[in-house]
Amino acid sequence: MNKQQVLDYIQANNIHHIKFAFADIDGILRGKVIHVKKFEEGLDSGYGFCDVVFGWDSADALYDNTSFTGWHTGYPDQPCRIDLSTLRTIPWQDNIPFFIADYSGVDTTDVPCPRTLLKHVAKQCEDMGFHSEFAQEFEWFNFNESPKSLAQKSFTNIEPLSPGMFGYSILRSSQHSAFYYDLINLLEQFNIPIEGIHTETGPGVYEAAIIHDHVLAAADKAALLKNAVKEIASKHGIMASFMAKWNESLPGCSGHIHQSLWSMDKLQNLFFNPEDELNMSDTMKHYLAGQLYCLPHIVPMYAPTVNSYKRLVEGAWAPTTITWGINNRTAAIRILNQSEKYARVETRIPGADANPYLALAAALASGLYGIKHKLPLTTPPTTGNGYADKANGIIPSNLYEAASAMKASSVAKELFGESFTEHFVNTRFWEWRQFAKHVTDWELKRYFEII
């Protein structure tokens, strides 16, 4: 819809309020409900929003190591703009109109906005003559809990929605059919069509794959899915968690990214070449080579939290080595190449905790880097156990190590710009500091009496 069509829709449906939100550096949606009068007044000039949303962490604690905003700037408003093309209604909230916003297209300082960063990368892709088609899939755990019950129990004795390890279970989803089908139907009505949803191995864990779309729309849907699932779950007295690894003994939660490049008319998949031994075009090989080359420089874009690296361990269905393979789920990058329609790259490093805008920007930018520089695919495909193939290096084992590599990287700055890279890396160092100063239950149990 264009501006006039949106205004006509609001008037015709006697709408008084709209809701909008944007993603912060951690991918958390921050937003407001505003009156239609304010909505109309800000369509051209933008809406003032305190820039503290890019100056604090996921717990609203203020960064002390970033320059974009802080006490030194007075935390002013920055104008964000609503993207009218993202209009949808929220079916579980009386169909209030909802829009996604970002910080592009208005006169403002260099705001470290994840969606704006992805828009820049997507524009580079189009300028190179490619249409980017992406989709993200998520695993998450569901619990018979609420924010209040978890706080009262100090996050101990957490009760999953269902017991036992029961992947691809028809029984478990039927036992919670009201919730299960609300997810399918309400997400569809919210313009997040689900290609498939099923239980994964683990107590109360689901996996859902979103139908592919242009990279920006795919990231919008991924960011909205995480929040929507939590809201729908809450309606059923259920708490959903996209934490990468909530329990040491259970599998982690992935956020794999599926991607392909097409001709601008969307008629030809440029990753597929039936004349090649592996059905891989030169474009696909350069794209893959770029992802492998850039990976050590940008790991925090895929694994942004301290907890992310608890998932990236051997034998836990998550990669630990810089590898690729044909339909190999132990490699960091999995190639699916059976047909032109479905030929794609699956980047398997991201967990469900990743910011979709940053993870998709990282995947696309690094692939384009390979195409731009015509990087040769010199690393052979891994067959068998990817955990044992360390010839091309390993993924950092913790956030500090990954952030340090990104801070020192000229490649990261080339991909994302110096300003954004500096801000993002410093937020990751802040995250590590919050963890490092905390005394854990493990330390108490291990050292309190016996040392």
Judge if 78 and 173 occupy the same domain.
no
**425: in domain:** yes
Amino acid at 25: I
pLDDT at 281: 98
CATH number at residue 214: 3.30.590.10
**451: in domain:** no
**334: in domain:** yes
From residue 329, alpha-carbon distances to 182, 317, 333 in Å are 30, 7, 8
Domain endpoint, select from 55, 82, 110: 110
Residue 441: is it exposed, middle or buried by C-beta count within 10 angstroms (0-12/13-18/19+)? exposed
- Overall domain count for the chain: 2
Query: H/E/C letters for each residue in 401-437?
Result: HHHHHHHCCHHHHHHHCHHHHHHHHHHHHHHHHHHHC
**115: in domain:** no
Q: Judging by DSSP bridges, how do beta strands 77-90 and 29-35 pair with one another?
A: unpaired
CA atoms within 13 Å, Cβ hemisphere of 451:
6
**406: in domain:** yes
pLDDT under 50: residue ranges of the chain: none
The Cβ of residue 64 has, within 10 Å, a number of other Cβ atoms equal to 11
What is the spatial distance between Cα 134 and Cα 212, in angstroms, rounded to a whole number?
A: 5
pLDDT at 206: 98
Strand partners, 88: 98
pLDDT of 4-41, one tens digit each? 999 999 999 999 999 999 999 999 999 999 999 999 99
Q: Are 209 and 140 in contact (CB under 8 A)?
A: no
pLDDT at 444: 94
pTM for this predicted structure? 0.97
What is the spatial distance between Cα 43 and Cα 5, in angstroms, rounded to a whole number?
A: 13
Domain endpoint, select from 54, 86, 110: 110
Phi-psi region for residue 22, left (φ > 0), alpha (ψ -120 to 50) or beta? beta
Judge if 150 and 100 occupy the same domain.
no
The Cβ of residue 391 has, within 10 Å, a number of other Cβ atoms equal to 11
Judge if 354 and 427 occupy the same domain.
yes
Judge if 211 and 84 occupy the same domain.
no
φ and ψ at residue 112, rounded to 5 degrees: -80, 65
Distance of alpha carbon 32 from the chain centroid:
22
Domain endpoint, select from 64, 86, 110: 110
pLDDT at 108: 58
Nearest to 26 by CA among 232, 228, 303: 303
**118: in domain:** no
What is the spatial distance between Cα 171 and Cα 184, in angstroms, rounded to a whole number?
A: 17
Judge if 99 and 132 occupy the same domain.
no
Judge if 100 and 182 occupy the same domain.
no
Judge if 247 and 368 occupy the same domain.
yes
Judge if 166 and 65 occupy the same domain.
no
Q: Which residue range forms the structural domain that includes residue 34?
A: 3-110
**32: in domain:** yes
pLDDT of 107-150, one tens digit each? 556 899 999 999 999 999 999 999 999 999 999 999 999 999 99
Judge if 104 and 200 occupy the same domain.
no
Judge if 17 and 63 occupy the same domain.
yes
**119: in domain:** no
Indicate the SS3 state at residue 375: coil
What is the spatial distance between Cα 449 and Cα 171, in angstroms, rounded to a whole number?
A: 46
Indicate the SS3 state at residue 43: coil
* 160: DSSP letter: B
Judge if 90 and 147 occupy the same domain.
no
What is the spatial distance between Cα 61 and Cα 433, in angstroms, rounded to a whole number?
A: 12
Nearest to 332 by CA among 353, 351, 348, 317: 348
CA atoms within 13 Å, Cβ hemisphere of 164:
6
CATH number at residue 65: 3.10.20.70
What is the spatial distance between Cα 259 and Cα 216, in angstroms, rounded to a whole number?
A: 12
* 254: DSSP letter: B
Judge if 197 and 300 occupy the same domain.
yes
